[in-house]
Structure 1
Amino acid sequence: MGFIGRFLITTLAVIIAAYLLPGIELKNNFTPLVVALVLGLLNTFIRPVLVFLSMPITLVTFGLFLLVINTIIIKFTSGIVESFHVESWWAAFWFSIVLSLVTFVLESLIGKARES
């Protein structure tokens, strides 16, 4: 799946996660596209640095600290995109989990559709 496919899946996942969770606000219809783009850029350039710097604590917590890194990335995205508001750290935490699950499900469904 190419960049455009992943971008569209992430955009749809942002819409679904924001709809399901309280404390997440998308102020207009263009916002999910911008959020997906910013998340993609942050996950490409900033997340690897954070993962590398937090490697000792990530190993001690058996990888659970990666959830904290995901939450930081979501809050950082909220700070960058003015029309995307995340109310609290817990909202960002649950948003990152729901976003990951929805993205996984959508990619699985599209993968199965391509096979048939």
Structure 2
Amino acid sequence: MNLLRSWAVNAAALYVTARLLDGVRVEGVEALIGGALAIGLINALVRPILRFVTFPITVLTLGLFYFVLNGLMFHLAASLIPGFALEGFVAAILGALVMSVVATVLHVFLKPRKKQRDR
């Protein structure tokens, strides 16, 4: 169930990102769902490897290279899914930033509540 919720949050965050930024286009529900799936898979499989490989340059740039890395992964997802397009690399960086903020906020609000035990 957590995987499905995470996928739905990514899809909602991608939709909000496409509505807020002119440089991010998602044409149709299939592109929205495919884009959310691609972003989730890239974040799960490719991001850890790239974070490890690019750690020295991330330290040298005081973490700013991490924005570039997120933009590259967002651009990779857009290049894999037809109907999901970006207008330039700046749109990829801004899209990744907006999407991560929206997804974080949605995850906080949709997090299941823990049951409190009676004392």
Instruction: Normalising by structure 1, report the TM-score.
Output: 0.91
1:62, distance to aligned residue in structure 2 (A)? 2.2
Distance in 2 between residues matched to 1:49 and 1:109, nearest whole Å? 30
Write out the 4+ residue segments of structure 1 that deviate beyond 4 Å after TM superposition.
Answer: none
Paired position in structure 2 for 1:49: 49
| Matching of residue 114 in structure 1 with residue 113 in structure 2 | yes
Larger Rg: 2
Paired position in structure 2 for 1:76: 76
> What percentage of aligned pairs have identical amino acids?
30
Paired position in structure 1 for 2:15: 15
1:110, distance to aligned residue in structure 2 (A)? 1.5
Task: Deviation per CA, 1:49-104: give whole Å up to 9, x if none.
Answer: 11111110111122221111100001111111111000110111110010011011
In the alignment of these two chains, the number of paired residues is 115
Paired position in structure 2 for 1:85: 85
Distance in 1 between residues matched to 2:101 and 2:20, nearest whole Å? 12
Question: Letter of the aligned partner of 2:101 in structure 1?
Answer: L
Task: Deviation per CA, 1:32-54: give whole Å up to 9, x if none.
Answer: 11001111111111111111111
1:115, distance to aligned residue in structure 2 (A)? 5.5
Unaligned runs of 5+ in 2: none
Question: Letter of the aligned partner of 1:79 in structure 2?
Answer: S
Distance in 2 between residues matched to 1:45 and 1:104, nearest whole Å? 19
Question: Letter of the aligned partner of 1:17 in structure 2?
Answer: T
Task: Calculate the aligned-residue CA RMSD, in Å.
Answer: 1.6
Unaligned runs of 5+ in 1: none
